Amino acid sequence: MELRFLGHSTFLLSHGGHRVLIDPFLAGNPQCPVSLEEALGWNLSAVLISHAHGDHWGNALDFGRAGVPVIGTAEIGGYAAANGATNAVGANIGGTVRGEWGSVYFTPAWHSSSFPDGTYGGMPTGLVVEMGGRRVYHAGDTSLFSDMRLIGDRGLDAALLPIGDHYTMGPEEAGRTLELLRPRVAVPMHYGTFPPLTGDPQVFAAAGQAQGVDVRVLGPGERAEL
């Protein structure tokens, strides 16, 4: 599987002709190296949404109105369908949605969730994506919580973790999650995009090195093979 970081918490996963976009914050994302117009031409298999905040929900409706499946909680699926998405899928924590591209399992996340217009967005989630024989955990926006050990028990090839502080855990706390998640590879996200997000990825990388985790600090647009 190829993982491409598109800035903030946005990732593109690719394998075998399938492309899955996670938290599609493209327009308005000062870190994003691609335009919305370019991304709309990617022939995506699915768009996955961790929660409804604008910097994660992003351009979901642009993709949904173009027929790409938009997959999130029941509230996210319902909101997407009510606003023109033609193939919205609402699930919930503990559930799995499957497709030809692979699957996504929804985990808890400790955060909040509302759409930019103030509509309640349901519970925030993390996403465990299985694709191309790899298992990737996108933690969404969260703090450290002890049940991450159960997520780690699934066997993770990679963990994508917020480190920015202020709205999520910072790099030290994110480093502690590695003890519970035990991933082969970890990638920091949700830092440096806006002034409050001051978490230092090198602090996180040092924590990973101390635990034998391969931490890959990716710049916007950079790719990693898993």
CATH number at residue 129: 3.60.15.10
Within a domain: residue 68? yes
| pLDDT band of 222, cuts 50, 70, 90 | very high
Q: Does residue 102 fall inside a structural domain?
A: yes
What are 153-199's pLDDT values in tens digits? Answer: 999 999 999 999 999 999 999 999 999 999 999 999 999 999 999 99
The two three-digit tokens of residue 31, written as one number: 């870190």
Report the SS3 class of residue 162: strand
Q: Which amino acid type is present at position 34? A: V
Residue 70: pLDDT band (50, 70, 90) is very high
The answer to whether residue 226 is domain-embedded is no
Whether residue 144 contacts residue 177, with contact meaning beta carbons closer than 8 Å, is answered with: yes
SS3 for 125? strand
- 26: in domain: yes
Per cent of the chain over pLDDT 70 is 100
φ, ψ of residue 11 to 5 degrees: the values are -135, 145
In whole angstroms, what is the distance from residue 141 CA to residue 114 CA? 13
Q: Where are the beta strands (DSSP E) in 109-218?
A: 125-131, 134-138, 158-162, 185-189, 214-215
* Domain membership flag for residue 200: yes
pLDDT digits (tens, 9 = 90+) for 84-122: 999 999 999 999 999 999 999 999 999 999 999 999 999
Count the neighbouring beta carbons within 10 Å of the beta carbon of residue 120: 12
pLDDT tens for each residue of 192-204: 999 999 999 999 9
AA identity, residue 186: A
47 domain-assigned: yes
- Strands ordered across the beta sheet of 223-225: 88-91, 70-73, 46-48, 18-22, 11-15, 2-5, 223-225
Q: Which domain holds residue 81?
A: 2-219
State mean pLDDT over 147-156: 98
Count of domains forming the chain: 1
When pLDDT is averaged across residues 69-83 and rounded to a whole number, the result is: 98
* DSSP at 218: P
